[in-house]
Amino acid sequence: MQYVPYEKSREVPHILVDGADNAGTKLVLSHWKDNLTPADLKDDLSAQIVFNYLDQPDFHVNVDAVTNDHFDADGLVGIWTLIHPEDAQEMRDFLIDIASVGDFNVYKNRDAARVSFALDAWMNPHLSPLKKSVLQLSYPELTVVLHEELLPRLAKIIEKVDFQEKFWHQQDALLEASEDGFKNKKFKLNELPELDLAIVTMPDSNVPIAESIHRMAIHNLTDCMRILIMQETHFELYLRYETWVDFKSRKLMPRVDLTELAANLTKQESMDGRWSFDDINSFAPALRLTGDTQSKIPFESFRSQAIEFLSQKT
């Protein structure tokens, strides 16, 4: 089995891992919504689906190529597993953990998180070993480069993760600080299971919420799929990526479109402040304030409005 770039794969019989099929696809192993993966193989992550495929010879197809239309840890792990099935079986749980970090921001083994962070670094202009000119390629072209560079390196990255610290240190430090924040009660998490909502409260900081707390620290503490992060004057409400894919291990509540809530909140802000909600069909859509550095809506008012809106729509 060998990796073939997605565009070239249209003319080559292949297995498609984690993305969307094309004319050459003979089998789909993907957790994307509306996927064509055989029902008996389906699972939460595409990497898990690939292992399910290896476990069930009745589904095996006689092809020598595998591809994906995008780059991420889940897809990379799935492709690597098909190319190296025996080696992959020996570290099955660890590989699935890497994929879980990449897609769902959930980890069991900290080294798996660090491997995923190291993979992310290849797309970060400040950390990537790739030339800037390569990072400026079109996304389909960059996807090919990343697969061609990282598929041969993945086993070594896993084996030598401690020596990859320059690539994973930044995310790992934020994760460590975030987990410490919950341990020392600086950050607090309360769940409203009936709304599938977890509310994280934390002090204001001088950096954006994304740089104040690592989502993985939150997701490792809750199964709720709607996350409301609340500082004193900064708020963010997002839907987790699990709600976009064909999640199989348990039934999830449907997504709620927060566009109407965004419009109502905007009416309560200053002239510059505007609340917006990403496309509900995006991977992890978020409700955020733009145009102003701080919200004018009182903390308790924002919290009660968010809860009331979700209560009406759930």
**pLDDT of 271 strictly over 90:** no
Could you tell me if 121 and 114 are in contact, meaning their C-beta atoms sit under 8 angstroms apart? no
pLDDT at residue 154, rounded to an integer: 98
How far is the C-alpha of 228 from the C-alpha of 258, rounded, in Å? 12
**What does the mean pLDDT of the chain come to?**
97
pLDDT at residue 270, rounded to an integer: 84
With the C-alpha atoms ordered 24, 27, 32, 35, is the resulting torsion angle positive or negative? positive
* Lookup: tokens for 238: 């997002």
**pLDDT of 187 strictly over 90:** yes
Q: SS3 helix, strand, coil % of the chain, rounded to 5?
A: 45, 15, 40
**pLDDT of 310 strictly over 90:** yes
pTM of the model: 0.96
Per-residue pLDDT tens for 198-219?
999 999 998 999 999 999 999 9
pLDDT at residue 293, rounded to an integer: 85
Per-residue pLDDT tens for 219-242?
999 999 999 999 999 999 999 999
| Cα 225–Cα 293–Cα 234 angle in degrees, nearest 5 | 30
How far is the C-alpha of 52 from the C-alpha of 42, rounded, in Å? 8
